[in-house]
Amino acid sequence: MSTVDGHGPAAAARAVALDCAHDFQKVFADRFLAAYALGSLAHGGYAPAVSDIDLAVVITETRGGDTETVAQTCQTLGQRGALHRKLSVFWASLPALRRGHHDGRFPVIDRLDLAEQGVLLLGSEVAPQVAVPTADELLVDSAEFAVKVLATDEVTAELHRPRRLLADPVWFTKAVLFPVRFLYSNTMTMGRAATNDEAIAWYLAQPQAIATPLVRLAAQVRAGQPLDPAQAAPLLAAGLVHLYRRYVEDQTRRLGQAGAPAELVAALRQWRGQLGTSH
């Protein structure tokens, strides 16, 4: 079992992750195998203002009612304080993860993170047994996430006429940096999970990059600068939809080259139409 050492915000967040891991060990009892820190707690770049506390829980098998059990455990843990409310749990059985599937909640990008960079908090070392996804799997998974979560009427309207994005720094940074991270991943990492910091640095160095003032502001807010609606509003109006158009066009082209399901490509093209040609 790994220990949680050091001081500062990242160490405090890792301590919370370990605390939560012990609760999931109790909940799953003899089915519990391991808990890992993922994301910025594993590979660096934890931003106290906006980062989640990503925890992977690996069990021997899943059973009916596990989804509700995980949700209830997270709700209970959230009552312990603000840091506990930042918890985001990914969970599945080891047999499924070995096959490159999930039977709980474990997106492909997070399976890659577990396999390559997960930091063991509690239990047995099982990450080397996890199937590493291919670049095409990551491409399709990110597109499916975009279609399911972002290509909705509500989110598309928010992209055009930001309201919540002007009031919530977490939403603001996630909304601006999502397309940046995946443009970087699609172009540069060849199937490796990208960090926000390296994606931002790469994007801002591109001579043809669009919405760079907006991306730069998102990086500053992620680093702890307060979100100023008066500063953010004109940058969102000038750049956010353009940034998403660029991402969707790039993603659609790459999906076609990868032979992705036609319905997924069609859904992205439909979303591109909803993003329009002007604000």
Residue among 203, 76, 152 at smallest CA distance from 214 = 203
- State the pLDDT at residue 190: 61
Cα→Cα distances 143→33, 127, 186, 239, Å: 31, 25, 11, 21
Q: Half-sphere exposure of residue 204, counting CA atoms within 13 Å on the CB side?
A: 15
- State the pLDDT at residue 239: 97
Measured in whole angstroms, how far is the alpha carbon of residue 251 from the centre of its chain?
A: 17
Helices and strands: H and E segment counts in the chain: 12, 4
pLDDT in tens, 185-233: 888 766 566 789 999 999 999 999 999 999 999 999 999 999 999 999 9
Cα→Cα distances 192→134, 237, 259, Å: 9, 32, 20
In angstroms, rounded to a whole number, what is the distance separating the alpha carbons of residues 217 and 240? 12
Instruction: Give exposure, 208-244, as e/b (b: 16+ Cβ within 10 Å).
Output: eeebeebbebbbebbeeeebeeebbeebbeebbbbbb
Residue ranges with strand state E in the chain: 32-37, 53-59, 87-93, 119-123
For residue 135, give both structure tokens: 């670049």
For residue 97, give both structure tokens: 């993860």
Among the ranges given (42-51, 61-70, 75-84), the one the predictor scored with the smallest mean pLDDT: 42-51
Measured in whole angstroms, how far is the alpha carbon of residue 1 from the centre of its chain?
A: 25
Handedness of CA 30, 31, 36, 37 (dihedral sign): negative
Q: Are 261 and 136 in contact (CB under 8 A)?
A: no
Residue among 115, 85, 74, 81 at smallest CA distance from 98 = 115
Handedness of CA 78, 83, 85, 88 (dihedral sign): negative
Q: In angstroms, what is the C-alpha Rg of the chain?
A: 19
- State the pLDDT at residue 186: 82
- pTM strictly above 0.85: yes
Q: Are 244 and 165 in contact (CB under 8 A)?
A: no
Confidence of residue 26 (pLDDT cuts 50, 70, 90): very high
Burial class (CB in 10 A: 0-12, 13-18, 19+), 149: exposed
- State the pLDDT at residue 39: 94
Q: Which residues pair with 53 in a beta bridge?
A: 87
